Amino acid sequence: MPANLLVDTLSYKDMVFDFAFHPTLDIIATGLITGHINCVKYAPGAGNNETAWSIRPTKKSCRGLAFSNDGAGLFTVFKDGAIRALDVNTGDVLIKKSDAHDNPINAVRLLTETTLATGDDSGVIKLWDVRTGTETMQYTEHDDFISDFDYDTDSKTLVASSGQGTISIYDIRKPKMLAMSANQDDELMSICIVKDRRKVVVGSQEGVLNIYSWGDWGDCTDRFIGHPNSIDTICKIDEDTVATGSSDGIIRIIDILPNKFQGIVGEHEDFPIERIKMSHDKTFLASCSHDDTVRFWDVRYLTSEREDADDDSDDAKDASGDKDSDSDDDDDDEDDKPGKNGGGMDVDSDDSDAPKKSSNKRPKKQAPAANNPSFFDDL
């Protein structure tokens, strides 16, 4: 592996609420509390970052950003309840939806090539057809802010975390909610689907990772205790591993089932972390914080180590021979067995009686799907 790649920190005069990586290029967009949106071409080496454009379409804070699938457009949401679609090349506003929400928008995620999800401070979730700018669904089951989204493409399922202490589950093709979890009596701040859609990890205000089993939404089946402060953001490294960003300013790497604290990627001193995300090529994990910066962390070692482990597992299997097809089915359930705590983190599990399996072979990584053209091509 080449030497550690260093990208200059992006420093601003005001707080960065959110950022987004371009799906195919070394471009990052940042949204500030002042309403400014910046598009930066980043590159390793001192002085190599280049600002492509910077605009301020409103004085209201930019709460979230999401690139279109083809990277030609950037969706942005604001405190005044507006949604704007920007041209990535120029920063021009292509579409503006001023009255998208009656309350400040707090979460945004592009679900499909044509569907955008937004959630506001009052708990309302809306789905939008980005080709026409029209609302296609509205869900009103929550009574407090929507903090985060994740989405499973195969089942077309949207999961949302909220300040009222529950997560909700939606089939985006249907107008009614599928399920809502029991109230955890704690604000749920972040959410992430892992284990090939068998588990959902949710970060809480009290520093607990609540782990839900897919389809069993009544209550969490595992709890990973140990973060000293709120878990405000979660980023999936792979199906077995997540990175967490906490209000103590530290980015931690956590293995999920068996639950284990692996180490620390970096920190923003004592400043709370708002967001962490992975670059398109999985070279960098970036983080934004209340210190008014976006920092880049070289995390190639995280993905390369797991790819090497997968290759070694495949080689061992080829050498020993594959006796029967049922063995793979048994391996699938090993990840559900809670492990011993690590690195000073404690585990509180309801799945301690899960059967022990003989191996822990991870599924091979799938090649990314080709990007599809979007409505921006026609504008």
List, for residues 337-364, the tens digit of each pLDDT value.
333 333 333 333 333 333 333 333 333 3
Range with the lowest mean pLDDT among 23-32, 47-56, 301-310?
Answer: 301-310
pLDDT at 193 over 60: yes
Distance of CA 286 to the CA centre of its chain: 12
Count of CB atoms within 10 A of residue 352's CB?
Answer: 10
Read off the pLDDT band of 376 (50, 70, 90): very low
Residue 138: the pLDDT is 98
Query: Strand 10-11 to strand 293-298: parallel, antiparallel, or no bridges (unpaired)?
Result: antiparallel
Read off the pLDDT band of 303 (50, 70, 90): confident
List, for residues 152-172, the tens digit of each pLDDT value.
999 999 999 999 999 999 999
Read off the pLDDT band of 5 (50, 70, 90): confident
pLDDT at 196 over 60: yes
pLDDT at 316 over 80: no
Distance of CA 162 to the CA centre of its chain: 15
Please report which helix (H) or strand (E) contains residue 180, including its range: strand 179-180
Read off the pLDDT band of 308 (50, 70, 90): low
Query: Strand 208-213 to strand 273-278: parallel, antiparallel, or no bridges (unpaired)?
Result: unpaired
Please, what is the Cα angle at 228 between 198 and 262, to 5 degrees?
55
Q: What are phi and psi of 305, to 5 degrees?
A: -60, -40
Q: What are phi and psi of 47, to 5 degrees?
A: 75, 10
User: Rounded CA gap, 264 and 45, in Å?
Assistant: 23
Read off the pLDDT band of 304 (50, 70, 90): confident
User: Rounded CA gap, 131 and 362, in Å?
Assistant: 38
Q: Is the alpha carbon torsion for 226, 229, 231, 233 positive or negative?
A: negative
List, for residues 219-237, the tens digit of each pLDDT value.
999 999 999 999 999 999 9
Q: With beta carbons less than 8 A apart as the criterion, state whether 111 and 124 touch.
A: no
Give the residue-averaged pLDDT of 257-284.
Answer: 96
Q: What are phi and psi of 331, to 5 degrees?
A: -65, -30
